[in-house]
Chain A
Amino acid sequence: MTTLPTTAADRRVSTTRAFLGVLGRDVAVTGREFGSFLSQVLVQPFFLLFVFGKVLSQLGYIAPGYAQLLLPGLLALNAFLVAVQAVALPLVIDFSYTKEIEDRLLAPLSTRMVAVEKIVFGAVRGMIGSLVMIPVGYLVLDQVTWHLGGLPESALLLVLGALAGGAAGLVIGTAVSPRRINIVFAVVITPLLFTGSTQFPFLQISSLRWFQVICALNPITYVAEGLRGALTPQIPHLPGWVCFGALVLACLLFGAIGIQGFVRRALD
C-alpha cells in the first residue's frame, strides 16, 4: 500500500518547476502558432522599413544612410511593442471573459510569480520579434553596416527593452477594461510608435524641445539610442549608461505597478 505524503513539505513543488511549467505553456502556444505570430510581428515594421529605408531613399527624398539609422530603431520598437501586445491583450480577455488564466493562478506558485512569468513571456516574444527584423533589414536595405563589437551590449539592451515592454503590457492588461482596450491601443501604441526615437536620433531633435521631452518619456527611445551607440556609433546618440539606467528604471516602475495590478485582479 502506498502511503500519502503526510506533511505539506512532501507536497511542496519547487517554484522554479511551477514557473517553468507556466512559462512552458505560453512558449508552447506561441510555437504552435509561430506563423501567425511572425506575420503579426513583421508586417508593420517591414513596411516602415521598406517605405522609409528603401522607397523614399531611392526617390532621393531621404538621404542615403537613413536606413542605417532606422534599422536599430525598428529593432528597439519591436522589442518593446511586441512585448506590450503579447501581455496586454490576452490578459484583458483572460481576466474579463475567458478566465482561462485561473488554472495557472491555482498553480503552486505565488501570484506575483505568475505576473513575473507574464513579463518574462512578453519579453521572450519581444526578443523574437526584434531579432527576426535583422535578416529582414539586411534583405530590404542596401547599406547596413554594424559595429559587431557592440552586439553583446545590443543584446542586453534588447532584453531590457523587451522586459520593460512586458511590464508595460502588464500595467495596461490589468488596468484597462475590455471595452476600452481598443481605444487604449489606439491612443497609446501609435504615439509610442512615433515618439520612441526610432525614426530619428534623439539628440538631433533639440530644436523641437517639447517633442524631445515627450520622446524622453518613451522607454523605446533608450533602447533605440543605446542600440545606435552600440551598433552605429557614428550617429549621434545618448550615452550608454543613460540608456541602461532609464531602462532599468522603466522595468522597475512598470514591473511594480503591473504586478500590483495583477495581484489585485487575480485575488478578490
Chain B
Amino acid sequence: MAAPVSNRRALPPDPPVASRHVSIETRAARPDRSAPQAAPPAVEVADLVKRYPKAKGNAVDGISFAVAPGEVFGLLGPNGAGKTTTIGVLTTRVRKTAGRATVAGIDVAADPVGARAVLGVVPQRPNLDRSLDARANLVWHAAYHGVPRARRGPLADELLERMGLADKAGTNPDELSGGQAQRLIIARGLMHDPRVLFLDEPSTGLDPQARLFVHDRVAELAAGGVTIVLTTHDMDEAAKLADRVGIVDHGRLLALDTPAALVAGLSGSATVDLAVTGADATVLRDRLAAVRGTAGAEVLEDGAGTARLRARVDGEAGAALPGLLDEVAAAGGRVLDVALGEPTLEDVFIDLTGRGLR
C-alpha cells in the first residue's frame, strides 16, 4: 500500500477483510496502541438537540454517544430519523439547539473553524465542483485547507490512484459515473488528512461493484487509523463496516452496541420452520412452544395432512433444533422439511423502529 498522507500515524499491517469481521466485537474495546491510554473520544455527542425553526418536533431529540479513535461508528435509521442532522451538527453545517458535540476534542459550536480543520465530509448528495476537473477538485480542496502548494499535486495523484481514478484526473465531475464521483468525493475528504471522516450514506445509489469498492476503502481507512462515522439505512452495510452501530429513530438513539451484540440481544427472533406430517398442528404448536429455549410457536399453514409451523427461539436456531425435533417425534409426527432463520440487524432494526412506512 502506498504511503498515505504524511503525518498520519504509522499503519498497522492491513488485516484481511475477513478477520475484521471476526474481531468486530473486540475491535472497539481494543486499546489503540499508538494513542495514549484513555485517549479522549474522537467524536462525542451529549444530549444533542436540534429543532428546526417552524418544525413541530425535534429533528434530533437528545442523542448521546462517543466514538473511540480509530473506530468505525455507524448511525443506522430510517429516512428522516435524524442521522443526517446529527452529522450536520458534527460537521459544523447545522447549528445545534442544545447539548454538546465535539470532534477530536474540539467543540464544533464554539470553534467551528478549528473543527473543520480536523474533519472530512462525504455528503449524501454529490457536490463536486464542476468548474474544475477531478484532480483540480482535490488540489483546490487542499488549498482551502492550507496544505502547502508543493504537496497538493503529489497528494492528489496518490489519492486518485488509491481510489482507482488515476485515468480520470482530467475528467469533469459531470462525466463521472455515480461510483466514480463518490470515490472522488471520498478522496477529496481525505486531502487534508482529517482525524475523523464523516460519510453520509456513502453507498446509496451505487451499483454492487462500486459499493464493494467503497466498503473496501472505508475498511482500509479504518485500518489506517482514521476514525469513521457513517450513516446508512442499509443494514448489511452497517453490519459489515461498523464496529458499533447506533440505531436512531425520531431523533432518539434507540440502541447502541456492536452489530453482533445487537442481534444477540434480540430475544425470540431466531426461527425454526418445520414442515410436519402425521400430527395435529394445534397440539404440536402447544408442545413446541413448551420446549426449553423456545419463545413461542405458531402455525403457518395447516392443510392436506401437512402442517407448517414456526418456533421462535432465544439464541441460536440450531441449538434449539434437537429439542424441537424430539417433540415432533414424541407427538407422532414426521418432519418433512426444516428451515433455520437467524436474526439479522434488520430484525433488530424493525423490532426497534417498527414496520410502518415513513
Q: Which residues of A contact B (CB under 8 A)?
A: 1-5, 8, 11-15, 17-18, 20-22, 24-25, 28-29, 32, 98-100, 102-111, 266-268
At the interface, yes or no: B294 with Cβ under 8 Å from chain A?
Answer: no
- Cα A105 to Cα B94 with chains together (Å): 12
Min CB–CB distance B266 → chain A (angstroms): 35
A12, B117: Cβ atoms under 8 Å?
yes
At the interface, yes or no: B105 with Cβ under 8 Å from chain A?
Answer: yes
- Cα A22 to Cα B130 with chains together (Å): 15
B10 / chain A contacts, CB cutoff of 8 Å = 1-2
Are A100 and B144 CB-contacts (below 8 A) given A8-B105, A108-B116, A268-B95?
Answer: no
B34 / chain A contacts, CB cutoff of 8 Å = 1
Q: How large is the interface on B (under 10, 10 to 19, 20 to 34, 35 or more residues)?
A: 35 or more
At the interface, yes or no: B129 with Cβ under 8 Å from chain A?
Answer: yes
Min CB–CB distance B296 → chain A (angstroms): 46
Give the residue among B34, B95, B143 with the most A Cβ atoms within 10 A: B143
A107, B111: Cβ atoms under 8 Å?
no
Q: Which residues of B contact A (CB under 8 A)?
A: 6-10, 34, 52, 85, 88, 91-95, 104-106, 111-114, 116-118, 121, 123, 125, 127-132, 137, 140-141, 143-146, 188, 195
Min CB–CB distance B125 → chain A (angstroms): 6
Q: Please pick, from A105, A109, A110, the residue contacting B93 in the complex, using a CB distance under 8 A.
A: A105
A24 / chain B contacts, CB cutoff of 8 Å = 140, 143
A11, B127: Cβ atoms under 8 Å?
no
Q: Which residue of A lies closest to B225 (CB)?
A: A4
Q: Would you mind naming 13 contact pairs between A and B with Cβ atoms under 8 Å apart?
A: A1-B10, A14-B146, A22-B144, A25-B140, A25-B144, A98-B127, A98-B130, A100-B128, A105-B93, A106-B92, A108-B145, A109-B144, A267-B94
A106, B121: Cβ atoms under 8 Å?
yes
- Cα A221 to Cα B140 with chains together (Å): 38
Are A104 and B144 CB-contacts (below 8 A) given A8-B114, A110-B112?
Answer: yes
- Cα A8 to Cα B144 with chains together (Å): 17
B112 / chain A contacts, CB cutoff of 8 Å = 110-111
Q: State the 10 A-B residue pairs at the shortest beta-carbon distance, nearest first.
A: A13-B146, A21-B143, A107-B144, A99-B127, A108-B117, A17-B146, A21-B144, A268-B94, A1-B10, A29-B131
| Extra contacts besides A11-B114, A14-B146, A108-B113 (5): CB < 8 Å | A3-B9, A4-B195, A21-B145, A100-B129, A108-B116
A1 / chain B contacts, CB cutoff of 8 Å = 9-10, 34
Q: Please pick, from B9, B88, B106, B145, the residue contacting A107 in the complex, using a CB distance under 8 A.
A: B145
Min CB–CB distance A268 → chain B (angstroms): 4
B125 / chain A contacts, CB cutoff of 8 Å = 99
B104 / chain A contacts, CB cutoff of 8 Å = 8
A21, B127: Cβ atoms under 8 Å?
no
Min CB–CB distance B193 → chain A (angstroms): 9
A2, B116: Cβ atoms under 8 Å?
no
Q: Which residue of A lies closest to B188 (CB)?
A: A103
- Cα A5 to Cα B9 with chains together (Å): 10
B195 / chain A contacts, CB cutoff of 8 Å = 4
Are A12 and B114 CB-contacts (below 8 A) given A4-B195, A17-B146?
Answer: yes
Are A18 and B93 CB-contacts (below 8 A) given A98-B127, A103-B188?
Answer: no
Q: Please pick, from A5, A8, A12, the residue contacting B7 in the complex, using a CB distance under 8 A.
A: A5
Q: Which residue of B lies closest to A17 (CB)?
A: B146
A110 / chain B contacts, CB cutoff of 8 Å = 112-113
B144, A18: Cβ atoms under 8 Å?
yes
Q: Which residue of A lies closest to B126 (CB)?
A: A99
Give the residue among A3, A11, A18, A111 with the most B Cβ atoms within 10 A: A11
A106, B118: Cβ atoms under 8 Å?
no
